[in-house]
């Protein structure tokens, strides 16, 4: 999570492309200068940036506290507080962005001024138009959507089930009828009521994006990667093409295993996989059904991480303490004591909260916190390592000026914790005392280890890709409100090869049942992070001098890796992301090569298992 988690952040969400000529032509200098505090000169532009940074830094502190309270104590009062500050943030963000566009057209700007102006122009998540009342309406809708999600409940056999409990049950329940109940009730109860409000939010946000010179909100999001929206889309599709064969091999194998377990009547061994049978509410990660598809012998990895945590009496805070020790083992400083007193590590009783895990730096200095409803299981053990990656990134760049208080791009921010979590290997579990050395799986268990990892990392890729492909279509109008759900289902079928367990009604809004849609969090970052984390991981293992299969590498305790990592993190958003990537990995291009190398032994094995099967699905 970024330094301010709001619908229209004053901080940089990403790096915008240079100011466009079309926008400048529509706003001549004589008109623009009238509303500007500083002259349209290099010195005036620099003065404007400095004034905005001072104001935004001060506002971010108090606003961040309002959002924190709203996320950890949902009620009518905190909703109004969050909407109030969100409205101010949106209005100021749009004002800053509009004026930044004027200053960005000035010739002779120094590097930092030009970069920060571009960040201001393209750094909004949702931009309200300057029409009176538009910012207030946008933020009221955004706040309400977020809170609706937090209050959401599924149902099972007539009983209400809180959202995070429903998610956990999807991973452990093996009754196909009950799984269908949980899936359908969550999507119906949470998603469907949001549809009209979401359509209105899109309408307002697009008006705002167009006022800033973007074709639509999706184009504005794609402009934040030191390249044009078109160049980003091409890179996005290229990366998917590099990993698609690996995903198709995994899908084919898992579909057969699910079919063997449930029977052909429930899950045929061809076509799509029924979404609720994959151990996750959105079929975005399949690790919970690994036991159902693990082949005898080759699939048994010899231990269960959840069992290890329970048998070693590790509680939720203990998971956080263990995760922190990974980072300190690299030579990084411990988290501040306030982290342990101010974080929401477990779900509090007696109030509604947003359980979706996120990491915060409230004052953009050292008020680091996480918000989780941690359960003692393997998933949350890995998630905690991930979330602390955000916190350590936030602290590493906290000496930068305001608009550089962010990752090199949003995919970097997600990838840091992810590549640390890749080092949660059997060797690491021995190092921290959770696993006995004689229980480390031998080399003949490698297929099981890789399959278990692929059930999360590889299975996620098409979902990570399609969420924003859907939103980009919504924003550019190619997906209309009456097509929202059909398009969502179609994209999940096309890219994931999964399909709903029940027919979806015409008024369904299944996208709303995924937090990042009502939470208005761009999702391409997660797809990029799944690519970047393997690049980072391979670079760290090479720095640590690892000698062995890549997937067995743990760089726990290697301070050389920590120094090199921190050098990249300290850059924040001050340089284009290829500079940051090169600083740690030695290359300037995102590539899935490291991921494909990591899973190469598994892919060869999968092809053997799938021989003679029809490994496609309709529309693939």
Active site residue 516: yes
Give the 3-state DSSP-derived string for 86-150, with helices as H, strands as E and coil as C.
HHHHHHHHHHHHHHHHHHHCCCCCCHHHHHHHHHHHHCCCCCCCCCCCHHHHHHHHHHHHHHHHH
Active site residue 251: no
In sequence order, the β-bridge partners of residue 359 are 370
Q: How far apart are CA 501 and CA 489, in angstroms?
A: 11
How far apart, in Å, are the Cα atoms of 27 and each of 37, 42, 65, 205, 531?
A: 17, 18, 37, 21, 40
Q: How far apart are CA 385 and CA 369, in angstroms?
A: 13
**Of the listed 225, 408, 414, 529, which one is catalytic?**
414
In sequence order, the β-bridge partners of residue 541 are none
**Of the listed 390, 413, 530, 551, which one is catalytic?**
390
**Of the listed 275, 357, 415, 524, which one is catalytic?**
357
Active site residue 390: yes
Residue 473 in contact with residue 447, Cβ under 8 Å? no
Active site residue 413: no
Active site residue 357: yes
Residue 567 in contact with residue 583, Cβ under 8 Å? yes
**Of the listed 47, 73, 242, 516, which one is catalytic?**
516
**Of the listed 53, 128, 387, 573, which one is catalytic?**
387
Residue 309 in contact with residue 376, Cβ under 8 Å? yes
**Of the listed 385, 386, 413, 551, which one is catalytic?**
386
Active site residue 387: yes
DSSP characters over 417-441: HHHHHTT--HHHHHHTTSS-GGGSP
Using CA atoms of 201, 206, 212, 213 in order, give the dihedral in degrees to the nearest 10. 170
498-499 and 273-274: which strand pairing?
Answer: parallel
DSSP characters over 381-396: HHHHHHHHHHHHHHHH
Q: How far apart are CA 487 and CA 476, in angstroms?
A: 14
In sequence order, the β-bridge partners of residue 273 are 498
**Of the listed 392, 515, 526, 556, which one is catalytic?**
526
**What residues are annotated to the active site?**
356-357, 386-387, 390, 414, 516, 526
């Amino acid at each position: 999570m970024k330094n301010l988690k709001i619908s229209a952040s004053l901080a940089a969400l990403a790096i915008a492309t240079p100011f466009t000529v079309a926008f400048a032509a529509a706003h001549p200098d004589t008109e623009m200068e009238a509303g500007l505090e500083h002259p349209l000169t290099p010195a005036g532009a620099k003065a404007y940036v400095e004034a905005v940074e001072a104001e935004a830094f001060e506002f971010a502190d108090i606003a961040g506290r309002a959002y924190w309270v709203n996320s950890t104590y949902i009620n009518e009062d905190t909703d109004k507080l969050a909407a109030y500050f969100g409205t101010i943030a949106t209005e100021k963000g749009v004002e800053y962005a509009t004026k930044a566009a004027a200053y960005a057209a000035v010739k002779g700007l120094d590097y930092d001024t030009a970069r920060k102006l571009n960040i201001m122009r393209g750094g909004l998540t949702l931009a309200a138009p300057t029409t009176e009342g538009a910012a207030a309406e946008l933020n009221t809708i955004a706040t309400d959507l977020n809170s609706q999600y937090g209050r959401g409940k599924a149902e099972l056999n007539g009983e209400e089930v809180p959202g995070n409990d429903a998610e956990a049950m999807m991973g452990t329940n093996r009754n196909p009828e009950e799984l269908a109940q949980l899936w359908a009730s969550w999507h119906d109860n949470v998603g469907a009521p949001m549809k009209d409000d979401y359509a209105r939010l899109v309408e307002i946000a697009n008006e705002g994006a167009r006022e800033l010179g973007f074709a639509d909100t999706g184009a504005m999001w794609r402009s934040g990667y030191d390249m044009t929206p078109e160049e980003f889309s091409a890179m996005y599709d290229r990366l998917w093409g590099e990993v698609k064969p690996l995903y198709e091999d995994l899908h084919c194998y898992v579909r057969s295993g699910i079919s063997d377990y449930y029977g052909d009547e429930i899950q045929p061994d061809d076509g799509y996989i029924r979404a609720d049978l994959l151990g996750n509410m959105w079929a975005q990660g399949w690790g919970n059904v690994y036991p159902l598809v693990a082949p005898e012998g080759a699939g048994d990895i010899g231990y269960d991480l959840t069992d290890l945590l329970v048998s070693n009496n590790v509680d939720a805070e203990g998971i956080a303490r263990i995760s922190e020790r990974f980072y300190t083992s690299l030579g990084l400083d411990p988290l501040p004591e306030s982290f342990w007193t101010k974080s929401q590590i477990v779900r509090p009783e007696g109030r509604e909260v947003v359980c979706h895990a996120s990491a915060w730096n409230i004052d953009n200095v050292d008020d680091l916190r996480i918000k989780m409803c941690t359960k003692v299981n393997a998933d949350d053990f890995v998630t905690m390592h991930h979330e602390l990656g955000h916190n350590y990134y936030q602290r590493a760049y906290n000496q930068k000026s305001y608009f550089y208080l962010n990752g090199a791009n949003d995919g970097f921010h997600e990838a840091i914790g992810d590549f640390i979590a890749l080092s949660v290997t059997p060797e690491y579990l021995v190092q921290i005392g959770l696993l006995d050395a004689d229980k480390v799986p031998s080399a003949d268990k490698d297929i099981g280890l890789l399959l278990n990892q692929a059930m999360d990392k590889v299975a996620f890729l098409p979902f990570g890709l399609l969420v924003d492909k859907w939103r980009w279509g919504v924003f550019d109008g190619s997906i209309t409100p009456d097509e929202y759900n059909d398009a969502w289902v179609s994209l999940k079928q096309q890219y994931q090869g999964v399909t709903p367990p029940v027919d979806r009604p015409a008024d369904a809004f299944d996208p709303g049942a995924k937090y990042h849609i009502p939470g208005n969090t761009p999702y391409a970052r997660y797809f990029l992070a799944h690519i970047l984390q393997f690049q980072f991981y391979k670079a760290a293992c090479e720095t640590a001098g690892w000698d062995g299969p890549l997937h067995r590498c743990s760089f726990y305790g290697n301070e050389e890796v920590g120094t090199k990592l921190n050098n990249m993190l300290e850059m924040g958003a001050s340089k284009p992301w290829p500079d940051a990537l090169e600083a740690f990995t030695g290359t300037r291009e995102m590539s899935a090569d490291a991921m494909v190398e990591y899973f190469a032994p598994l892919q060869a094995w999968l092809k053997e298992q799938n021989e003679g099967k029809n490994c496609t699905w309709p529309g693939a």
